[in-house]
Structure 1
């Protein structure tokens, strides 16, 4: 059995790990309060999923690269687009939203998405607050605006930075100062129910009691400590259904 993907649950679904065995797929729900008991073994390419819904099948790959080998790595043509394109995808022609997102305590970024996916995209990223600042007719215009704003704000936030602020609140003054330069169409505040007093220990594991998730970050409790797991770092691991037993670094709160 192998972890071949994950779902953040955004905007209103249930987060889950996607497992595969002999071509069959199953969801491992990550419900708050429930026990997750998977032992990570060897890691290799997660292969690909063919089809969708009930007919989807997993096509395995033994290549050593993880989470994906070059053959199974999707390259999104819009990833670094700055609006100098010819609208290569059908989705590029849809109405787009330009947004600002805040990650506690004071890390900000600009981004774009199709208008109807705005809240979903923000929750996928684990944003704490956000502001919809522009609506435009297509992705090319949105990318041009994004590139201009990114020169001052930035357009990427790494997962380790997000984990650093999991136990903190957004600096409201810094966020308000940023929004002063724009005239937001709408603003958003998101809650993820983690209620953390301290920063979790960063680990790659799949055993513990689920505290919750925020974007692709899964928070687990184990042995009196709280751990933050980047779910993408789990993809590609072969797993067995038993609780892992290896010793882990403990958080300071475990000794209080």
Structure 2
């Protein structure tokens, strides 16, 4: 049976819960828990194909670009987005949502929304180093609050992923990490009575710090990142940290290399010697080279 990676996720809420890689083989699905300090290695085989939409396979089995983080052909990407919260097509969704404030590094904060049932998984998937809930309520009230903060306070709701990766390279101490989020929280609640949706319940400030879960404070600053796989190319090393979709691998020849696991979806992967190093294209961290999604 051939296995295809379905991406990295952060299902647990506890301080010891790390990331897992998802796999699909024919009609079978499984996950592999990742642990810091362990070696891993894989080799890409064949070509990269579209991962489909909404859990359904791509009818065209289309080949997709190796540098795209989406791994979907144009038609599957359209279908997938049509059913997303970001597309504003779910206005009648009865499920409760939460508004959050997230910090990715010095000077980099954003506002966003997520389904309440997902807990903090959305924040870990984005690579948020610190976050706090702001409020909870119906989807459209959460969306209006997001728009209010963007218009009144100039807070973005999207940050390019390359920026998130760049600013997490040198993190300040715990108190400094939460201070910027707390300052934004106070500015946000000051807007109550001036456009704050009545249906949104304000939640108390509580900073949740992911630096320990991500192991960022113990990892060396990476200088290179994988820009895309190639057929026969190997990625291998010792896992030292992870944040969002990124894995930080310590390699013998290239130092600490960052792999955005969104780049490995759509590939058929086989096991490789964990000491084989990296034989796929690399770029300097911050130099681009990846078709980034807004994340």
Task: Give the match for residue 51 of structure 2.
Answer: 46
Task: Give the match for residue 134 of structure 1.
Answer: 135
Asked if the contact 2:18–2:34 (Cα under 8 Å) also holds between the matched residues in 1, the reply is yes
Aligned equivalents of 2:155 and 2:114: distance in 1?
17
The equivalences for 1:15-30 within 5 A come to 15-30=19-34
Q: Deviations over 1:23-72 (max 9, x none)?
A: 44343432212221101232122346869xxxxxx789631125122454
Aligned equivalents of 1:47 and 1:61: distance in 2?
9
The equivalences for 1:93-242 within 5 A come to 93-136=94-137, 138-151=138-151, 152-169=154-171, 172=177, 174-183=180-189, 185-187=204-206, 188-191=208-211, 192-194=214-216, 195-203=218-226, 204=228, 206-223=235-252, 225-242=255-272
The runs of 5 or more residues in structure 1 that have no matched partner are: 52-57
Residue aligned with 2:121, SS? helix
Asked if the contact 2:48–2:267 (Cα under 8 Å) also holds between the matched residues in 1, the reply is yes
Task: Give the match for residue 85 of structure 2.
Answer: 78
- When residues 86 and 112 of structure 1 are mapped into structure 2, their CA distance, relative to the original with a 3 A threshold, is closer
Normalised to the residue count of structure 2, the TM-score between the two structures is: 0.69
- The count of residues paired between Structure 1 and Structure 2 equals 239
Residue aligned with 1:208, SS? strand
Asked if the contact 1:166–1:196 (Cα under 8 Å) also holds between the matched residues in 2, the reply is no
- Aligned mate of 1:33, from 30, 37, 49: 37
Aligned equivalents of 2:157 and 2:124: distance in 1?
16
Task: Give the match for residue 68 of structure 1.
Answer: 72
Residue aligned with 2:146, SS? helix
Asked if the contact 2:110–2:158 (Cα under 8 Å) also holds between the matched residues in 1, the reply is yes
Q: Which structure is higher in strand share?
A: 1
Aligned equivalents of 1:248 and 1:44: distance in 2?
19
Normalised to the residue count of structure 1, the TM-score between the two structures is: 0.78
Aligned equivalents of 1:189 and 1:240: distance in 2?
35
Q: Deviations over 1:86-145 (max 9, x none)?
A: 724xxx222222111000122111011223433222222221111222222x10111011
Residue aligned with 2:86, SS? coil
When the two chains are superposed, the root-mean-square deviation of aligned CA atoms in Å is 3.1
Residue aligned with 1:79, SS? helix
In the TM superposition, residue 186 of structure 1 has moved relative to its aligned partner by 2.5
